[in-house]
Amino acid sequence: MIKFTGLLFLLILLFSSHTIEIIASELADYPPVLNICRGINMGNMLESPYREGSWGTILKEEYLQLAKEAGFDHVRVPIRWSDYTDKNPPYEIEESFFQRIDEVIEQAEAYGLITIINVHHYEEIMTEPAKHKERFLAIWKQIAERYQDHPDTLYFEILNEPQNKLTASLWNQYLMEAIEIIRETNPDRILVVGGAYWNNIDGLRELKLPEDDKNILVTFHYYNPFEFTHQGANWAEGANAWLGRTWTGSFREKRMIELELDRAVKWAQENKRPLYLGEFGAYERADLESRIRWTNFVAREAEKRNIPWAYWEFNSGFGIYDPVKDQWRDELLQALIPENTD
């Protein structure tokens, strides 16, 4: 029985690898979503609580220049709009904060980077969705109106990682309403949308999208095996017990990643939607060699499937840039962009 089970598992894995090229080629026929391929998350900057810099880093213009020069073609900019929005109707966003976002978008555009701005760390809507629904929609109405005349190099990502009490059913409802509001002023802008359950692959199954809107890029996040990528992370319960986990790149380790990415691609194929790997990364407490192997493998496997990606993140706990030494962590950078040998 053990031998039979092992043989069956091997046959399944081999069959799966045979279908990768077929599925990826079909994805290539989907509606175009502009030319993004390799991106970087400017994380822990504009989504830090209370003010930019409260998590130890700010978004400097030079970081955008460095990203472009390193070979990234887009930046994903997480933004905690909820900390700069009135708590009472009409839920106005602070003008000074809007001006800061204007500045970042203009700087990124000047360096030839496509920019994805999102609503990030809106924690209140996750725990009290009904109470915050109208505020959430008002935030998007203001963002959409402000940037309606901006070039199509700006994408809108509607909400990072819906979870907790913002169930899949509720999220689908809020999402449809947000899209409708955005489309009043931005009929053709690329929207980035993910499923519930922290934007993981399983959340795609319950995601509902307007059938006639083809300018939607469907995102998912990937951090598996979680005990490896989040070992020692102080926000992940029990993470200290995972310290010492390695990722050796064994056949089984690689195949598990391939199979999970194939599930995402299968959903995309069935629903005729392009995919975007909006976050992936391994925390700094993991050993460097394992991080390099895992990062390179995930990036290359996404590319095999025609999935553009954005690494999490630039210069904090997962970062590929050392803000103290003001230099790239070269081995991690090369894991993402092998052509980069500087």
pLDDT tens digits along 145-154 = 999 999 999 9
Q: What is the 3-state composition of the chain as percent helix, strand, coil, each rounded to the nearest 5?
A: 45, 15, 40
Domain ranges within the chain, ordered by starting residue: 35-336
Cα gap 266→271, rounded to integer Å = 9
Task: Give CA 195 to chain center in angstroms.
Answer: 12
pLDDT at position 35 is: 79
CATH class of 35-336: alpha beta
Q: What is the DSSP string of 230-297?
A: TTT-TTSTTGGGGTT------HHHHHHHHHHHHHHHHHHHHHT--EEEEEE---TTS-HHHHHHHHHH
Are 17 and 261 in contact, with CB atoms under 8 Å apart? Answer: no
Give the residue ranges of DSSP H helices in 37-159.
Answer: 61-70, 95-110, 123-127, 129-146
Task: Give CA 259 to chain center in angstroms.
Answer: 20
- From the first residue on, what is the mean pLDDT of each consecutive set of 10 residues in the chain (342 residues)? 41 45 47 77 97 96 98 98 98 98 98 98 98 98 98 97 98 98 98 98 97 96 98 96 98 98 98 97 98 98 98 98 96 93 52
Q: Which DSSP symbol is given to 32? A: P
Residue 154: phi and psi, rounded to 5, are -105, 125
Task: Give CA 72 to chain center in angstroms.
Answer: 15
Q: Give the tokens for residue 173.
A: 């409802």
Residues labelled as active-site residues: 161, 279
pLDDT at position 341 is: 54
Show the beta-strand stretches assigned E in the chain.
Answer: 38-41, 74-77, 114-118, 154-157, 191-194, 216-222, 275-280, 309-311, 321-322, 327-328
Count of other CB atoms within 10 angstroms of residue 71: 16
Cα gap 215→190, rounded to integer Å = 5
Q: What is the pTM of this model?
A: 0.91
Handedness of CA 309, 262, 200, 177 (dihedral sign): positive
> Whose CA is closest to 27, among 218, 155, 192?
218
Q: Which DSSP symbol is given to 227? A: H
Would you mind telling me the total number of residues written for the chain in this entry?
342
